[in-house]
Structure 1
Amino acid sequence: MIARLTIVRYPGWMGWAGFLSMALFRLPLWLQKKSGFWKLMGCGRNGSFDKTPDWRQWAILQIWEDELQYNQHPTQIENWWRFFGCEKWTLLLKPLEGHGLWDGKEVFGSLPKQSDYNGRIAILTRATIRMSRLSHFWKQVDSVAEKMSTAPGFISSVGIGEVPWIKQATFSIWESKEAMKNFAYRMHEHAEVVRKTRQENWYSEEMFVRFQIIENEGSLKGEDPLQRNP
């Protein structure tokens, strides 16, 4: 199985074109039958779960069960990005380990909870937040996002989501699993949020997946995100 995450940034005041693309891209993605799962998503401004959308930045995730069936974005989508002069960052990802569901499905297949991989790693943390717990969740987010950006071993992150405030995800990249675990379990603020999500049942659905980065191409805001924290 292989996944491709593409983050696209529109120039200047062209964010409206990104918003429009979330409707227009559905047909060419639906026609691309070899991709078993895809999502069109918006992005937040602070690199993590975020209440404030970045109207210039948008995301597409696609998954192929057979790596040999992987292909490029549909021509209509590539032409759209080219016409509007978009900046594009694309990652090819191999799912390694994880748990949880997306729309009730194991979209990355049946994964082990642990693997022997020890290199640079990408993490997708996704949740559907219960309406009754929205205020509890958003009160905790900012402090954790600020700590993550300065954590040892952190490289880069982007906040993505299907529905503002409710269906949210963070895609982050770390030098190693050890660095990620040190942040997740030893940093007090993050560990406290994890405890509360379980105790207070914040999520109606959640998923956590770790990936090996197979390819990295392009840039965001004029730089390669993987080189931000060498």
Structure 2
Amino acid sequence: MASFHLIRYPGRDAMRYMAFDRPVLRGTGGLAFWRLLGTGRGDSMTLGADLRRWALFAVWDGEDALERFLARSPVAARWWERAEESWHVRLVPVSSRGAWGGRDPLAAAHVPHARAAGSAGPGDGPVAVLTRASIRPRRLAAFYRSIADVDRELRRGPGRLASVGAGEWPLARQATFSLWEDEDAASRFAYRTAAHRGVVARVRRERWYAEEMFARFVPYGSQGTWDGRDPLPGPG
């Protein structure tokens, strides 16, 4: 299983906490893969960082490992004690392709047709999508010139519940986490919007990325708020 956590701290404490959290996360039992990510402003994928907010994407050996982390880790304790706002969601991986750091961190975690506790199965309810890419330095200008139209399509996309742009390294290593009402809504944006289709074609033709990954999940068990609300419908 996987999880995604979005944390906002008062002031600029986020940068300091990210540095402190890395050695703790490296030593966390049952944490198979993780990335701390800076985030963009609001729900935009374009240039501009929100220095008060960061995200954690994590892959766990099982639900028990996540529960131990939430109950015992000083990282999680800080979320409750010092964060101005936090939102957390559990994720059942349904599909992924590509690589992150040379491997697919979800390769052993896919659960086709899974029904997570308290959630609908794939196609029957909300879908979470994670995309990430390492952009080749010589393609950075082309990428950022083209991303504004895609960003507008994403934010206006029918069925989009929430989205955030993120990155593990400024400019060149970028990710997007988005929530959709259902599989159809996510697919409409991915395959039927003109700007997104055009960028995908250029990515392939001009080899913009040195590495990329695309994954879909069934989200469940959300907790907290994201910009003042829980974007997932239902009891969470």
Which structure 1 segments of 5+ residues have no match? Answer: none
Deviation at 1:84, TM superposition (A): 3.0
Q: Which residue number corresponds to residue 9 of structure 1?
A: 8
Asked if the contact 1:47–1:170 (Cα under 8 Å) also holds between the matched residues in 2, the reply is no
Matches of residues 75-224 of structure 1 in structure 2 within 5 Å?
75-110=73-108, 117-118=122-123, 119-224=125-230
Distance 2:109 2:222 in 1: 23
Query: For 1:110-130, what per-residue CA distance to the aligned partner results, in whole angstroms no more than 9, with x for missing partners?
Result: 577x86820210000110000
Distance 1:91 1:111 in 2: 16
TM-score (norm 2): 0.87
Q: Secondary structure at the match of 1:126?
A: strand
Asked if the contact 1:128–1:204 (Cα under 8 Å) also holds between the matched residues in 2, the reply is yes
1:47 to 34, 39, 43: 43
Q: Which residue number corresponds to residue 62 of structure 1?
A: 58
Going from structure 1 to structure 2, the CA distance change for 1:105 and 1:10 (only over 3 Å counts) comes to same
Query: For 1:108-162, what per-residue CA distance to the aligned partner results, in whole angstroms no more than 9, with x for missing partners?
Result: 11577x8682021000011000001000000011111111111111111011110
Going from structure 1 to structure 2, the CA distance change for 1:25 and 1:136 (only over 3 Å counts) comes to same
Q: Secondary structure at the match of 2:31?
A: coil
Q: Secondary structure at the match of 1:96?
A: strand
Which structure 2 segments of 5+ residues have no match? Answer: 114-120
Going from structure 1 to structure 2, the CA distance change for 1:55 and 1:70 (only over 3 Å counts) comes to same
Question: One-letter code of the match for 2:78?
Answer: W
Going from structure 1 to structure 2, the CA distance change for 1:48 and 1:66 (only over 3 Å counts) comes to same
Q: Is 1:30 aligned to residue 35 of structure 2?
A: no
Q: Secondary structure at the match of 1:220?
A: coil
Question: One-letter code of the match for 1:28?
Answer: V
Q: Secondary structure at the match of 1:148?
A: helix
Q: Secondary structure at the match of 2:74?
A: helix
Asked if the contact 1:97–1:111 (Cα under 8 Å) also holds between the matched residues in 2, the reply is no
Asked if the contact 1:51–1:164 (Cα under 8 Å) also holds between the matched residues in 2, the reply is no
Query: For 1:153-203, what per-residue CA distance to the aligned partner results, in whole angstroms no more than 9, with x for missing partners?
Result: 111101111001111001011111211111222111111001000000000
Question: One-letter code of the match for 1:53?
Answer: A
Deviation at 1:226, TM superposition (A): 2.7
Going from structure 1 to structure 2, the CA distance change for 1:82 and 1:64 (only over 3 Å counts) comes to closer
Could you say what the CA RMSD is over the residues aligned between the two structures, in angstroms? 1.9
Question: One-letter code of the match for 1:117?
Answer: P
| Number of corresponding residues | 222
Deviation at 1:4, TM superposition (A): 1.2
Deviation at 1:68, TM superposition (A): 3.6
Asked if the contact 2:161–2:179 (Cα under 8 Å) also holds between the matched residues in 1, the reply is yes
Q: Percent of aligned pairs with the same residue?
A: 36
Q: Secondary structure at the match of 1:27?
A: helix
